[in-house]
Structure 1
Amino acid sequence: MRPFLVYCALSLPLFVQAWLAGEHKQIFSRDGVDLFNRSSIFEAGLTSKRSLPTQNGNAVKVRGVNLGAYFIVENWMANTVFSGFGCNTKSEFDCVSSLNDQAKADADFQGHWKSWITADDFKKMVSYGLNTVRIPVGYWFLESIVDQSEHFPRGGEKFLDQAVQWAKDAGLYVIIELHGAPGAQATDAFTGQYNPSPGFFDTYNYDRACTWLEWMTNKIHTNPAYSSVGMIGLVNEPVRIGDSRYPDASSQTLSMRENYYPKAWTTIRNKENALGIAKDQQVHIQMMDKKWGSGDPNEFLPDKTFWHAAYDDHEYVKYTSASVSHQGYIDFSCKDDRSGNVPVIVGEWSLSVPDNVQNTDDWNPNNAANKDFYQKWFAAQVMAYEKGDVIGWTFWSWKTSGLNDPRWDYQMGVDAGIILKNIDDAYSIGAC
């Protein structure tokens, strides 16, 4: 689950573009001119040949899903997975530790990786009109950087390679991001370890993360399966300034911006240069947008042109100040402005509502009387996350297990009729 505070409302959009009928799929199109490949738009930003999804040769908005609970299992959304292993824990680290049997843990998790997602899942995504998949990965998939005090499942790399190949075969654009960083970047099971005191923010763990990024960059440019991977995320949802759980957040996030981001940026670019990768073939380096609340990610970057930079924005309306009513949620999303660092993707969002109302009849997603609301709220969010300099979205998540809530599960949402199977219908059902 995505925590906890109301998001900061800082933004510095370069320009705002209103939606016009028939143009929502284009990244930036004015007067018939495709601006996507013009470097002047973002000071040579999104111009790589690894740019973003295309359709008929034209760049289009990102429309995708996350592979949550695949390579980082979170018990809240996949409790049948952990229970099948004999775990009753929040995170993978705790699960492996509680089993006290590394061979069993490895076998259990490899069985999960083998069966949780198949090639048919990626084909199904395409049939729903999706063009992108965001794959959260933990640092422990590079087993050489895991130290003896850490307990994680082993043998995941070949399953990651297979998933990326399947995504490529299906024609999907791929974003890979370091979801679980060494030492944990927040107190949350999505890091792979429920660490009450995040330990990511020091030189040792920055160095390990950069070793992971160098390894991943090499894969992207030398393994043909990874040719559809165009974006690599440096760290997911680090601590935020002002979160009462993190008294050291100000110094931690300053350290991250001042030390980790520049080192990570340089590590990726140096590896690409060593491999002889032309500038227009380099990956996009994605950081959390400054609205996340960890400061401006560009502040200390060594390359002030921000060549091939991208930004990750997460918007869970249930955690905002939106008026808790059907119309209140629709109105909030219709007016939601996610512009900020440019270009930005809303990398996580859902149809989940506040805990105190989510199980009531008025908000039951399986109640036919609520179908119209959820469809319109889905549509309102799609439009908000495709508006102006927001270049698209990836829904959290593609699949859950045991949760039985279509508001978090894209496939279940389509089956329940609350997620539009034809995403373009979002612009015609009268949500906003």
Structure 2
Amino acid sequence: MSSLNGGVPAGAAAPRFLGPALYDEGGVSHRDSFASQGTFRSSPSAANSSVYALNPEGNQPNVSGFGAYRDDPRDSEYVGGAGETDSQSPRYLAEKRSVYTAPRQKSKRGLIILGALGGLILVVVAVVVPVYFTVIRPKNLDHQGSIANPASPSSTSGGKPGTVNAVTGGDGSKVTTDDGTTFTYSNSFGGTWYWDPNDPFNNNAQAQSWTPPLNQTFKFGTDRIFGVNLGGWLTTEPFMQVADAPALFEKYINSTPTPVDEWTLSECMAADTASGGLDQLETHYKTFITEIDFAEIAGAGLNFVRIPLPYWAIETRAGEPFLPKTAWKYFLKAIEWARKYGIRINLDFHALPGSQNGWNHSGKLGSVNVLNGPMGLANAQRSLDYIRIIAEFISQPEYRDVVVMFGITNEPQGTLVGQDALSRYYMQAYNNVREASGIGEGNGPYVSYHDGFLGLTKWAGFLPNADRIALDEHPYICFGGQSDAAMSTYAQTPCNNWASSFNTSMGAFGMTAAGEFSNAVTDCGLWVNGVNLGTRYEGTYTSGTWPAVGSCDPWTNWQTWDATMKQGIQQFAMASMDALQNWFFWTWKIGNSSVTGVVESPQWSYQLGLQNGWMPTDPRTASGTCQNQNIWSPPLQAWQTGGAGAGQIAPAVSSSYAWPPAQISNGGVLAVLPSYTPTGTVATLPPPTFSVGSSSTANAGDGWANPSDSAGGMVAIATCSYLNPWIGDAAPPSPLCSSAAAARAVPEPHITPPPRRS
């Protein structure tokens, strides 16, 4: 893969945030902030971005192609008055106050009796309390703070009954990590960590008092998701990598090729044998996110993490330079740490073979090769196999109460591949997950679909009666026209932009969440747009002609921010949280630059905001920030949460989404395209190993939830011709297959039988 000064590779598709530049080239108009301007022009700067879900039906932009990204604040739907300010406490506080009644008056005689008993009680307490808090409580405290009963099971996920040597604690307790180091747990929200090495699948832990412990059901649509992404950890991205142990992208910035994605980074690392070669990535996995991060996330009032996972965590094939299978070991650590602190996981399948969007975070900056181009079918078949493999693992009873959501494909380019093909792919992915898990509440994860940049309204009514599906959108406002307006002017922007569409989708589709959003209102920050691509704000963005608004220093030099700036960012964060209702901030941490030694994209780091006072220390306080937005009221319909009717998709609906589609965009009909056949060995993800006592190990499952799922894996047909999976635009092989293999080269549409209910 060639690159031009670290910019967009020759012939490559637009990088992650490049679309607005392509669309606006030659016709960019400056915009003021939302709060400082009364009207916006309706033509979008980000063609095909997911913000079009916010537009009324019939007011969608007429654009074609792909490459645009996400959100444009100039769309007409954004015009609206800011909500009124409100000095009242959040709604949930009033609801809780109503639960408590005034105490009854005690009689005088009763007080005398109580006084007599009090003296005796004080004597007992003086003896018992020190023993309890130093000996009994640390060993036997369950998730609600009561004495655990060693004779009764304390986990619903295959764990053993609570044992007397369990280690647990709350705010102020000492935690010992798996490497023997210790730290003090800080959680003022009633959270309780729990880790018993003799019972490693125990689910007693609870992130906060208002979040159900892992051994109780999280009620989607009623219980709120307060989440954060662990971006840049197991799937690297240039703008968030750490400077030490090891320095990633900055270390090789003068190398050939210039690292612009994990593909080229892997090539640079592999050539650098003196520094450890490709194994440097494992050092990154070990150090970028650790157990302490999970403890801090729970202590921040957050109850979910969204973890981007690449396909090379499972395997790589010929010519793919990624470090294979290693990221999976650290995802297993993530499950262990999440279980210890009561945090639930949304596993996001972030990078697919061939790339589903052509952006750097998909593994390789360049072309789209999933559901697009001559290898679009084969790569989709391979991706569906990986979805099946992941689903089989996380649906096992040892993991299903921790990994409760599965984002089956991050940010596919629906505007390029077409909604019909994407819908059929989504339907088959759903079948793969439910074949692994069974149907009904408690059986495997929610299946989360990204909107494919088509907009939330395009998915209203999709798969009625499907068992526990969710819709994901990634709203950002920082990649369109730029403004030097003060941060305080954005106080109600998220409310005006997003609340209505998310409210509507919760009713029209069902569970809807924001899988990503940030505090950024400009595109300032080191490599936020990509390596060496510059910024729109300073007029240095590589693609397109952008007027310089000013210097990015006021937006990135966070050490100089005053109280007004910090308050403005916090207000924006709280408005976003309230408008989106169920959300995952992007991202938990941004690594320090190896050049400056500090974070260069501060509005993208939740952790940095907590440490320096511009993120709310309690996300619940965001409730009520958006005024008069008619925030959606729970619950979801029964079938949407795994209850009655879940999984009973009408045959006519299933047939209308039968896989595969009749043709692939920019590829043609299936008969002329390479495809795989299910005759290979299926990779099985290995479980962790936990020693229990001196001579045995805990049952960690075998990696496969449904033993009846015995179909082979998708592999090449020996007598057929194939292109490179990352080929981009090219002519299909000719002839495609020998006559003997022709029948197998074009698979028949497949509808998976209804999944079992256990």
Shorter-chain TM-score range: 0.7 to 0.9
Deviations 1:235-292 (A, max 9, x none): 1112252xxxxxxx1xx1335424311221111111224xxx6554232110013665
C-alpha distance in structure 2 between counterparts of 1:222 and 1:307, whole Å:
17
* Conserved? CA contact 2:262–2:361, under 8 Å: no
Kindly report which structure 2 residues correspond to 1:195-274, keeping only aligned pairs within 5 A, or say none: 195=366, 197-201=367-371, 202-222=376-396, 224-225=398-399, 227-241=401-415, 249=416, 252-254=417-419, 256-273=421-438
Return the index of the structure with the highest Cα Rg.
2
- 2:455 equivalent to 1:305: no
* Matched residue SS, 1:208: helix
Deviations 1:59-112 (A, max 9, x none): 421001101000111112216341476464121111112344498444111111
> C-alpha displacement at 1:209, in angstroms?
1.2
C-alpha distance in structure 2 between counterparts of 1:171 and 1:413, whole Å:
23
Map of 2:235 onto structure 1 = 72
Map of 1:163 onto structure 2 = 334
> C-alpha displacement at 1:350, in angstroms?
0.6
C-alpha distance in structure 1 between counterparts of 2:303 and 2:344, whole Å:
6
* Conserved? CA contact 1:180–1:191, under 8 Å: yes
What code does the residue aligned with 1:289 have?
D
* Conserved? CA contact 1:132–1:174, under 8 Å: yes
Work out which of the residue numbers 588, 599, 619 in structure 2 matches 1:398: 588
Map of 2:479 onto structure 1 = 319
Q: Structure 1 residues 279 and 9 mapped into 2: Cα distance closer, same or farther (>3 Å)? A: closer
What code does the residue aligned with 1:108 have?
Q
Q: Structure 1 residues 342 and 225 mapped into 2: Cα distance closer, same or farther (>3 Å)? A: closer
More displaced stretch, 77-86 vs 156-165: 77-86
- 2:313 equivalent to 1:141: yes
* Matched residue SS, 1:8: helix
* Matched residue SS, 2:448: strand
Deviations 1:155-196 (A, max 9, x none): 22111111121112110011001111111111211101112x
Map of 2:30 onto structure 1 = none
C-alpha distance in structure 2 between counterparts of 1:70 and 1:349, whole Å:
17
Map of 1:173 onto structure 2 = 344
Deviations 1:119-145 (A, max 9, x none): 1110100111000000001111111xx
Q: Structure 1 residues 177 and 214 mapped into 2: Cα distance closer, same or farther (>3 Å)? A: same
Map of 1:244 onto structure 2 = none
Map of 2:514 onto structure 1 = 346
- 2:495 equivalent to 1:334: yes
> C-alpha displacement at 1:24, in angstroms?
5.3
Map of 1:411 onto structure 2 = 607
Q: Structure 1 residues 429 and 382 mapped into 2: Cα distance closer, same or farther (>3 Å)? A: closer
- Aligned residues: percent identity? 22
> C-alpha displacement at 1:414, in angstroms?
1.0
Paired residue total: 386
Q: Structure 1 residues 64 and 292 mapped into 2: Cα distance closer, same or farther (>3 Å)? A: farther
* Conserved? CA contact 1:184–1:193, under 8 Å: yes
Map of 1:8 onto structure 2 = 52
C-alpha distance in structure 2 between counterparts of 1:157 and 1:290, whole Å:
26
C-alpha distance in structure 2 between counterparts of 1:265 and 1:102, whole Å:
42
Q: Structure 1 residues 185 and 362 mapped into 2: Cα distance closer, same or farther (>3 Å)? A: closer
What code does the residue aligned with 2:396 have?
T
Q: Which runs of 5+ in 2 are unaligned?
A: 1-14, 20-45, 58-85, 100-156, 158-202, 524-536, 538-549, 594-598, 629-758
What code does the residue aligned with 1:421 have?
T
Structure ranking higher on relative contact order (CA contacts 8 Å, 6+ apart): 1
Q: Structure 1 residues 116 and 225 mapped into 2: Cα distance closer, same or farther (>3 Å)? A: farther
Deviations 1:278-331 (A, max 9, x none): 5542321100136654984578x7x53122010111111213679763344222
Work out which of the residue numbers 57, 64, 82 in structure 1 matches 2:248: 82
Work out which of the residue numbers 318, 321, 330 in structure 2 matches 1:151: 321
Q: Structure 1 residues 278 and 370 mapped into 2: Cα distance closer, same or farther (>3 Å)? A: closer
C-alpha distance in structure 1 between counterparts of 2:234 and 2:262, whole Å:
10
Deviations 1:353-411 (A, max 9, x none): 2231672537854411311211111111111112xxxxx11100011112433211111
What code does the residue aligned with 1:395 have?
F
> C-alpha displacement at 1:425, in angstroms?
3.0
What code does the residue aligned with 1:342 have?
G
TM-score under structure 1 length normalisation? 0.78
Q: Structure 1 residues 410 and 335 mapped into 2: Cα distance closer, same or farther (>3 Å)? A: same
Map of 1:184 onto structure 2 = 355
* Matched residue SS, 1:76: helix
More displaced stretch, 147-156 vs 253-262: 253-262
Work out which of the residue numbers 38, 56, 63 in structure 1 matches 2:226: 63
Q: Structure 1 residues 174 and 12 mapped into 2: Cα distance closer, same or farther (>3 Å)? A: farther
What code does the residue aligned with 1:74 have?
E
Q: Structure 1 residues 102 and 175 mapped into 2: Cα distance closer, same or farther (>3 Å)? A: farther
Q: Pairwise CA RMSD of aligned residues? A: 3.7
C-alpha distance in structure 1 between counterparts of 2:287 and 2:558, whole Å:
27
C-alpha distance in structure 2 between counterparts of 1:189 and 1:363, whole Å:
22
Q: Structure 1 residues 305 and 10 mapped into 2: Cα distance closer, same or farther (>3 Å)? A: farther
> C-alpha displacement at 1:333, in angstroms?
1.4
* Matched residue SS, 2:52: coil
